Amino acid sequence: MFKITTEVITGETVREAVEGPDAGAVVLFLGTVRDNTDGRPVKCLEYEAYPPMAEKKMAEIAQEVSDKWGISRVAMVHRVGKLEIGEVSVAVAVASPHRKDGFEACKYAMDRLKQIVPIWKREIWADGEAEWVKPDAVYFDSLKPRKTDPQTG
Amino acid sequence: MNVTVKYFAVCHEMLDRSEEEMELPDGATVKTILQKLEEEWPEIAEFYEVMQMSVNWEYATENTELAEGDEVALIPPVTGGCDV
């Protein structure tokens, strides 16, 4: 299961997708919406994705997990739209014969999701301001948009 | 040839549209699109180091050649998941 969804995600959603008789362990990771970023209060988050490419990249990550650990039971689901504090934004489940591989593979899959899966997060601050989250080295704020031509915009 | 170009997140916001059809000359590459966008949004050049492009759902380079009907996207740095 590799999916971008607007629906509520639960752990069960992805656990069911990976369960099987050859599994001795299911490692489940849930990413949830935190009420602050570096101490600044967050009201909610908005996620946007490029769904067909995101799902394709998730499937590629599962293939990498298969190549590295021989694990074929991987599920990844990411929610888009507006999410309230405490809601699940992403779920990754890995079922493996033994727990060590499962833990490693689950961490790897989540790390890779953050690197290559086209999903973007927008923070809506408690004070009403909003901004797209950017990696530390990137300062979008310093770039001002040129006014769009009404005919093309 | 005609291609579809998609804009996400900060690009969507800056260009004030989420996608458009573009008519390009034969032999056009991803760079041709970036040059066209630069006319409207000169500061976009400052994004190039951190932004990626995709063609038909696969990461591409400036030199990737385009074909009729391709779906191209500007991919700002991805920030999915949660910061833990």
Predicted pLDDT of residue B82: 64
Q: Is residue B38 part of a domain?
A: yes
SS3 category, A1:
coil
Instruction: Please count the residue pairs, one from chain A and one from chain B, whose beta carbons lie less than 8 angstroms apart.
Output: 106
Q: Is the pLDDT of residue A50 over 70?
A: yes
Min Cα distance A121 → chain B (Å) is: 6
Instruction: Name the token pair of A1.
Output: 């299961």
Q: Is residue B22 part of a domain?
A: yes
Q: Is residue B83 part of a domain?
A: no
Contact A132 B17 (CB under 8 A): no
On whether any CB of chain B is under 8 Å from the CB of A58, the answer is no
- Specify the length of chain B in residues: 84
* Best of A9, A30, A50 to mutate (most B CBs within 10 Å, chain B): A50
In chain B, which residues have pLDDT < 50? 84
Please tell me the pTM assigned to this model: 0.87
Burial (Cβ within 10 Å: 0-12, 13-18, ≥19) of residue B72:
buried
Q: Is residue B24 part of a domain?
A: yes
Query: Are A83 and A138 spatial neighbours (Cβ–Cβ below 8 Å)?
Result: no
- Give this complex's ipTM: 0.91
Q: Is residue B37 part of a domain?
A: yes
B13: CATH:
3.10.20.30
**For residues A55-83, average pLDDT:** 96
Q: Is residue B81 part of a domain?
A: no
Q: Is residue B68 part of a domain?
A: yes
Task: Give the count of domains, chain B.
Answer: 1
Predicted pLDDT of residue B80: 75
Q: Is the pLDDT of residue A10 over 90?
A: yes
Question: In which domain, by residue range, is B22 found?
Answer: 2-75
Question: If we measure between CA atoms, which residue out of B2, B20, B4, B9 comes closest to residue B56?
Answer: B4
Contacts of A146 in chain B (CB under 8 A): 40-43
Please write the tens of the pLDDT for every residue from A71-125: 999 999 999 999 999 999 999 999 999 999 999 999 999 999 998 999 999 999 9
Give the CA distances from residue A9 to residues A87, B9, B56, B59, B70, in Å, rounded to whole numbers and listed in that order. 8, 22, 28, 28, 33
Q: Is residue B45 part of a domain?
A: yes
Largest CA distance in chain A: 61
- Which domains, and CATH codes, for chain A? 2-136 (3.90.1170.40)
Could you tell me which residues of chain B have a Cβ less than 8 Å from any Cβ in chain A? 6, 8-10, 12-17, 40-43, 46-47, 50, 54, 57-59, 73, 75-84
